[in-house]
Amino acid sequence: MAYRALAQQYTVNQRKYIEQQLNNINSADESRKPAEIWKVVNNLSGRKSKTAAKVKAENPKDRISGWRKHFEKLLNSDTTPTDSFVAQPVSKTLEDIPTGEFSFEEIAITVRQLKSGKASGTDGIPVPPSSYSEHASSYTKFNLPDV
């Protein structure tokens, strides 16, 4: 009895789905949207869909059986790694990253590269006016907030 009820419900749902897709085609045709029409047609026909996610079956019982086999195979497979993946560090040491104070030259170069009129970033440091970048070499002190 449960099988018949499931098969009947499957048929009813399939008909409702196809009717809904036909209504989508009609409304897309009235709106002159051929791309939408082809999207629905390709979806209904299965032309553009990936076959890897489909379980082919003639009826709901076979479909359920196919999914059961799929997940049994997936979940009961041996999961030993077969490749020789080894995580590689990005840098062997951190010694090559400078961590000292900024030099005046570094600050001057950075200020020259800033574009004026831009909003400050997430650090809250405002972009100085263009006159700062034009005369960056004449400044000896920059009032930058502590980060």
Walk along the chain (147 residues) in steps of 10 and give the mean pLDDT of each run: 81 90 89 87 76 69 86 78 66 72 85 75 68 48 49
71-103 pLDDT per residue, tens: 888 888 776 666 666 666 666 666 777 778 888
Tell me, yes or no, if the pTM score tops 0.85: no
Domain spans of the chain, in order of start = 2-75, 104-138
Cα–Cα distance for residue pair 129/147, rounded to 1 Å: 21
